[in-house]
């Protein structure tokens, strides 16, 4: 919907790029507005903007006044709106666990499976949802994203729909044990003490204990929850087991967990772009993860081909003209009719998004 600047509030999400006598947008679409963004719009004398009908926290945006538009759109919720709704519902569920409630698998399934199955219809949307996260609700965004990613990777690895659903549930439940940790630790924006860190490292065990006696949860799901911080080379936790003792579901959730954490806003660090995160995982984590799962993630994030148009981290846009299979996130780009850019030679640049 289109609203006047005076009606905006923190948490509004831009639907369109905002230009003001410039070739490049002063604020790009999908930006979650802050007070500073609104002040920038005022400085540039922007009168009105197009925003989503919902806020970043999943609540509906109901301004006192909006500009009448002839065309009515949004006949059904967007995937983004459904995602934010699921995050809100998971937050409520997590808070009930903090208060001592037991895990009810029916509620878990209701939160993640309809969203997951809808996401499968538009899988590219999965790799842009990180734009709609915030630091304060990191753990809730991370859990929902982990569920979506785990199920998605299962599909890329040719698992059946049933197993993909189980993977989505495993991802969502992996951090349920965080509800048993001091809430102050979860929102701490500075380094943890050794005692705090050791407590956090036990969350897979807490999570497992919360679900181990639920007969409706598949054993593979329970093992994935317990083992999602284990590593193929034995350097993970809680038990330090190696690759041959890891359940296949665990290997999938482990990769999804690291990718999700890197691409979301955390209390103690800024998010990274999907391509930058993927590149770092491939470079720094050799031997720790199942490469088949890493390749599935690469294929998903880097769902690019010759002719695909992309936006770079420096604001430039280009068209992919060549992909070196050894460097799938660093293709050769055509910037203009006479200018080409080989990302392998510019390590400081990353693909920001596919356009």
Query: Same CATH topology for 1-75 and 79-301?
Result: no
CA 1 to chain centre: 25
User: Is 204:227 a contact under the CB 8 Å cutoff?
Assistant: yes
Classify domain 79-301 at the CATH class level: mainly alpha
Per-residue pLDDT of the chain (355 residues; tens, 9 = 90+): 889 898 999 999 998 888 866 667 888 888 999 999 999 888 888 888 999 988 998 888 888 776 655 444 444 578 999 999 999 999 999 999 999 999 999 999 999 999 999 999 888 889 889 889 888 999 999 999 999 999 999 999 999 999 999 999 999 999 999 999 999 999 888 888 999 999 999 999 999 999 999 999 999 999 999 999 999 999 999 999 998 899 999 999 999 999 999 999 888 788 888 888 988 898 877 889 999 999 999 888 866 678 888 889 888 999 999 988 788 888 899 999 999 999 999 988 988 877 7
- Length in residues, the chain: 355
Domain residue extents for the chain: 1-75, 79-301, 309-354
**Cα–Cα distance measured from residue 160 to residue 126, given in angstroms and rounded to the nearest whole number:** 19
Torsion of CA 263, 266, 268, 273, to 10 degrees: 20
Instruction: Report the pLDDT value the prediction gives residue 22, as an integer from 0 to 100.
Output: 61
Query: Which of these, 1, 11, 297, lies nearest to 132 by C-alpha position?
Result: 11
CATH of span 1-75: 3.90.105.10
What's the whole-model pTM score?
A: 0.82
Instruction: Report the pLDDT value the prediction gives residue 76, as an integer from 0 to 100.
Output: 59
**Radius of gyration for the chain, computed over Cα atoms and rounded to the nearest angstrom:** 21
Residue 66 Ramachandran class (φ > 0 left, ψ -120 to 50 alpha, else beta): beta
- Using DSSP's 3-state secondary structure scheme, residue 32 falls into strand
Largest CA distance in the chain: 64
């Amino acid at each position: 919907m289109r609203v006047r600047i005076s009606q905006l509030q923190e948490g509004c999400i831009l639907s369109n790029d905002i230009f003001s006598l410039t070739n490049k947008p002063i604020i790009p679409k999908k930006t979650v507005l802050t007070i500073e963004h609104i002040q920038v719009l005022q400085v540039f004398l922007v009168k009105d903007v197009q925003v989503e009908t919902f806020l970043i926290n999943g609540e509906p945006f109901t301004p006192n006044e909006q500009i009448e538009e002839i065309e009515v759109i949004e006949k059904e919720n967007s995937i983004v709106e459904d995602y934010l709704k699921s995050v809100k519902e998971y937050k409520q569920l997590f808070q009930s666990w903090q208060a001592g409630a037991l895990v009810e698998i029916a509620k878990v399934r209701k939160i993640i499976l309809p969203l997951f199955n809808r996401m499968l219809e538009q899988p590219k949307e999965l790799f842009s949802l990180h734009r709609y996260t915030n630091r304060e609700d990191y753990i809730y965004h991370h859990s929902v994203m982990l569920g979506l990613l785990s199920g998605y990777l299962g599909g890329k690895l040719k698992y059946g729909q049933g197993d993909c659903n189980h993977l989505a549930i495993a991802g969502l439940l992996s951090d349920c044990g965080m509800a048993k940790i001091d809430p102050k630790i979860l929102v701490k924006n500075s380094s943890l003490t050794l005692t705090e860190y050791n407590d956090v490292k036990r969350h897979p065990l807490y999570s497992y204990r919360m679900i181990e006696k639920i007969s409706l949860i598949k054993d593979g799901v329970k093992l994935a929850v317990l083992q999602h911080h284990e590593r193929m080379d034995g350097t993970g936790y809680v038990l330090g087991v190696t690759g041959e003792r890891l359940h296949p579901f665990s290997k999938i959730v482990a990769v999804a967990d690291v990718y999700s954490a890197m691409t979301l806003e955390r209390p103690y660090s800024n998010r990274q772009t999907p391509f930058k995160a993927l590149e770092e995982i491939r470079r720094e984590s050799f031997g720790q993860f199942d490469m088949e799962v890493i390749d599935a993630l690469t294929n998903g994030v880097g769902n690019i081909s010759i002719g695909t148009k992309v936006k770079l981290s420096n604001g430039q846009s280009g068209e992919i003209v060549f992909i070196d299979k050894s460097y799938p996130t660093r293709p050769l780009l055509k910037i203009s009719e006479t200018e080409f850019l080989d990302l392998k030679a510019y390590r400081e640049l990353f693909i920001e998004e596919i356009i």
